Amino acid sequence: MIQLTVLRKPSDEHCTEGELLFNGEHQAFTLEPVVRDVKIQNETAIPAGTYNVTLTFSPHFNRTLPLINDVPNFEGVRIHPGNTAADTEGCLLVGMNAGNDSIANSRVAFDALYAKLEAAQEPIQITYING
């Protein structure tokens, strides 16, 4: 089984930064919406916990992307490229470099992650841990 782990830093008023581990090793930096106790549509990170991930076609992005399954009160949560909180409505963005409320080289980071997930051909889980 592939184990992805998101180590979140505490949220600021704009977003939640973090780090993505692939089987315990650094893979990318992450950016998500703010972690909140009460969900605000399109502005809230998913709850901490462990979820299964599948690679499925996204009509919104017109390509296959990792889908985070069975998130309570959320639908269509994916891992995809993006650089700021404006690029996510609850999804996990990945980047090669972390900045102040942003990540950079997102497509490079996403393509590297996706290639590893696609090649693995085994079940994938992701665990979100709040900082």
Classified as helix, coil or strand, 43 is coil
For 24-34, the pLDDT digits (tens) are 999 999 999 99
Classified as helix, coil or strand, 100 is coil
For 31-89, the pLDDT digits (tens) are 999 999 999 989 999 999 999 999 999 999 999 999 999 999 999 999 999 999 999 99
**Total number of domains in the chain:** 1
Residue 91 CB coordination number (10 Å): 25
> Could you tell me the residue range of the domain that residue 96 belongs to?
2-129
- pLDDT score recorded for residue 121: 85
Q: What is the CATH number of the domain that holds 56?
A: 2.40.440
66 and 124 in contact (C-beta within 8 Å)? Answer: yes
pTM higher than the cut 0.85: yes
**Which own/partner contact pairs does 121-124 have at CB distance under 8 Å and 24+ positions apart?**
122/1, 122/2, 123/1, 123/2, 123/52, 124/1, 124/2, 124/4, 124/52, 124/53, 124/54, 124/66
